[in-house]
Amino acid sequence: MASERSILCLLVLLLLCAVSLAASPRFLSVSLDRLINSKPHVDCPPFMSPAASSGNKIPIRHPCVCPPYCGGTKQTRRDIHGHDKARLSTLRQRSLVPAPAAAPIPAEAPSVSIPDHSGDFLESPEFIVVVGFGTPAQPSSVMFDTGSDMSWIQCKPCSGYCHPQHDPVFDPTKSTTYVAVPCGQPLCSHTGSKCNGTTCLYSMDYVDGSSEWSTSGILSQDTLTLTSSTKLSSIPFGCGQQNLGKFGYVDGLLGLGRGKLSLSSQAGHSFGSTFSYCLPSDNSTTGYLSIGSTPVSNQVVQYTAMIQKSSYPSLYFVELVSINIGGYILPVPPSIFTSTGTVLDSGTILTHLPGQAYTALRDRFKFTMQGSKTAPPQENLDTCYDFAGQSGILIPAVSLIFSDGAVFDLNFYGILIFPQPTIGCLAFMPRPASTPFSIIGNTQQRSTEVIYNVAAEKIGFVPNSC
């Protein structure tokens, strides 16, 4: 079976290479004015991302690429400016009040959508939604992550330590529906059955050789409010009492992994086993997170198979086999990608490619960008350009190609990331030796609706959806 798959992948590569020889070059462009107005640059602390989860340990902390906070410079916290408060207030209002009237959704396919936003204004490189925990609902600004199962928020009394956050810390004593999960309950087994005698405990580490990034506390259940008319009862989450690391000003995390404790699994009873999200194309726009099936407007969905790996049961794998850049198929054998597999992850910033694939992509990008003014490397980003003074920016289009023929066309902002307002860098990096698989990060997913149909074991892509 393995040899047959290898032969099939090789045939796919040969076919793609033949097509690329006859294909016209493909490019994307944006004006410099629009670039600056969209505020695409990343003002963030070191990139923390729970990308690889096995049980309660998350062994990968992804490297930072933001010069203001890297290189050992101590990060100084700042007050959230007025316009940032307004953005957060607007996001909260849009999340927890009735949505505008829309076309009715068939009864057999219930769904709910809430807006998501870049977390830059909360000093987080992740994407943020505002939900409510408890009864009455206490608003929480949380990042959402398909690489994590466990949802958690910081909780009073924070007997250990709570990092600074913009919203008031969740107070369980003010919720009439809050329950601490007792020891011996089935839910407790999913956290390793850790107990303090009567109450189930949880612990998760986000580490790079230390336990610097971590959260631990009480496994709890409470009502989760998505909109004023959509509430989910008895959703399990971690009530964080000891939360260490630079999480920015976010209140916690929504886990959308494949495990039993994740929001996507828990919501499946009410909304089915499908969810999707669209990450905003730039930091000045808004996307959405949808639980349940939602209609796709007049566009064909590119579906690829969702692969399961027993070593990483919580993660969403896809079978990437090739990359098209500017109409040119990289001359990289599919086995370079498939030997370890590729994870699609909303919580990792950059895409991590096998070394051979990254080198081929980088070299072709440089070849296509000849004549553009180069810029010094920006931390882990080694292919950068200075676009100051130009009227517009023209770059080669990039598409990810999967073994079943599905194609994922990246947005302009899915190819370049901007550490500074007019300094753009190729938003890919070679996979670190410590990472056991390749990763398609959230930068590459910007503006595309990504549909996770867990029951049908497939993932769909709809470009230019937000």
Residue whose pair of structure tokens reads 């097509």 in the numeric block: 19
Partner residues linked to 418 by β-bridges: 41
Instruction: Choose, from 120, 149, 251, 345, the residue flagged as catalytic.
Output: 345
Helices (H) and strands (E) in the chain, counts: 8, 31
Partner residues linked to 243 by β-bridges: 215
Tell me how far apart the alpha carbons of residues 360 and 343 are, in angstroms, rounded to a whole number: 20
**Is residue 208 flagged as an active site residue?**
no
**Is residue 79 flagged as an active site residue?**
no
Tell me how far apart the alpha carbons of residues 245 and 100 are, in angstroms, rounded to a whole number: 38
Amino acid letter at 64? C
Q: Does residue 118 sit in helix, strand or coil?
A: strand
Q: Which residues contact 361 (CB under 8 A, 6 or more apart)?
A: 323, 325, 330, 353, 398, 426, 428
Listed residue (61, 99, 96, 19) closest to 347, CA to CA: 61
Listed residue (334, 330, 274, 332) closest to 306, CA to CA: 274
Sequence-ordered strand ranges (E) for 228-293: 230-244, 252-255, 274-278, 287-292
Instruction: Choose, from 116, 120, 145, 205, the residue flagged as catalytic.
Output: 145
Question: Which helix (H) or strand (E) covers residue 150, if one does?
Answer: none
**Rg of the chain in Å (alpha carbons):** 22
Residues annotated as catalytic are 145, 345
